[in-house]
Amino acid sequence: MNYEIGNNVIILKDIDSFDIAQILECGQCFRFKKIEDYKYRIVANQKVLYIGQTEQEIRFYPCNEEDFKNIWIDYFDLNKDYNKIKEELSKDKILKQAIEYAPGIRILNQDTWECLISFIISQNNRIPMIKQAVENISKKYGTLIEDECYSFPTLDQLQLATEEDLKECKTGFRAKYILNACQMTQDNSIKINDFKNMTTEEVRQNLMTIKGVGPKIADCVLLFSQNRGEVFPTDVWIKRIMQYFYFEGETNIKEIHKFAYEKFGSLAGIAQQYLFNYARNKNINPSV
DNA sequence: CCCCAGGTCAATT
DNA sequence: AATTGACATGGG
């Protein structure tokens, strides 16, 4: 990978398929703030990182080479060849459209614990409100890093919360689900540290023992924090776009999964993200 | 005032 | 096994 090391900044050039706005705004990640066009601040891995992108280069700061190599290359999935993936997926003409609409999407490799709690909050909720709730929780239970930015709380930190506390953070009826996730992770019923050695189906079943975690949230955790490209998280938007483009009207999630696994295989998760972004931004909402 | 949101649970059939 | 209403909260 071709990058330059500056004074507490890493400058990345000649990277394909990287659009920081598309990556952060496509619905996979909740802890980012737009400073101005193509300048974002994220909080991840106990760090605050700014990303500024121009046509020529992408700047990551404050950042030294060690952190870039150890943390951010993996976080931004920089070793994956998205051109090859897009070429493969573009054999399907619907995917071709979705990819052309947002060719700079990448799937981030996020922290599993944060991803789990964030997507528990996501159920029957809207993205701006999910962001707000995650922010509230971080401010109340996380650690101050710098500049009013708080890390997402660890299990030990979040365990201090009561159901009332969590409701004050605007998590609503999901507060008790978060408590259950804390409890089951604490007593090692949820084996986050073993996930990397478990099959996708084993991880999914383990996550779904948490009250408030069903197949959709489990698949989001698998895709966005465990690099399992073969899952196809299916929410209302995915259901709409699949019905609109691939099915003649109404169908069910089981049929959608069967179709997606056969058609996209190990690239299903990435395909899903292009489709989700396309459906949401084009407001695909057929009256079928 | 009614509708819905990156779903899931529990009750009912 | 499949269907249906409830659930907190706030924006359109």
A264 touches strand B (CB under 7 A): no
The percent of residues in chain A predicted with pLDDT above 90, rounded, is: 96
Checking if the pLDDT of A215 tops 70, the result is yes
What does the pLDDT read at residue A288? 42
Q: Which residue has the tokens 């101005």?
A: A36
The answer to whether the CB of A89 falls within 8 A of the CB of A83 is no
pLDDT above 70 covers a percentage of chain A that reads: 99
Asked whether strand C has any atom less than 7 Å from the CB of A136, the reply is no
- Spatial distance from the CA of A145 to the C1' of C4 (Å): 46
The answer to whether residue A240 scores a pLDDT higher than 90 is yes
Distance from CA(A69) to C1'(B4), angstroms, rounded? 43
Nucleic chain B contacts, protein chain A, residues 213-242, CB cut-off 7 A: 213-218, 220, 233-238
Strands of A137-179 (E only): list them: 144-146, 149-150
Q: Measuring from the CA of residue A175 to each C1', which nucleotide is nearest?
A: C8
- Res. A75: pLDDT tops 60: yes
Q: Which two tokens stand for residue A96?
A: 């071709």
- Judge whether residue A286 has pLDDT over 70: no
* Rounded alpha-carbon distances, angstroms, from residue A62 to A5, A11, A20, A65, A129: 11, 11, 16, 10, 28
**Assigned token pair, A238:** 């995915």
Phi-psi region of A45 (alpha: psi -120 to 50; beta: other; left: phi over 0): left
Average pLDDT value for chain A:
97
- Whether nucleic acid strand B comes within 7 Å of the CB of A28, the answer is yes
Q: Is the CB of A173 under 7 A from strand B?
A: yes
pLDDT tens for A77-101 read 999 999 999 999 999 999 999 999 9
The C1' atom of B9 and the CA atom of A61 lie apart, in whole Å, by 44
**DSSP state for residue A70 in the 8-state scheme:** I
Flag whether pLDDT at A287 surpasses 60.
no
> E-assigned strands of chain A?
3-5, 10-12, 32-36, 39-44, 47-53, 58-61, 144-146, 149-150
pLDDT tens per residue, range A154-211 = 999 999 999 999 999 999 999 999 999 999 999 999 999 999 999 999 999 999 999 9
User: Is pLDDT above 90 for A49?
Assistant: yes
Q: Which of strand B's nucleotides are less than 7 A from any protein C-beta? A: 4-10
pLDDT at A114: 98
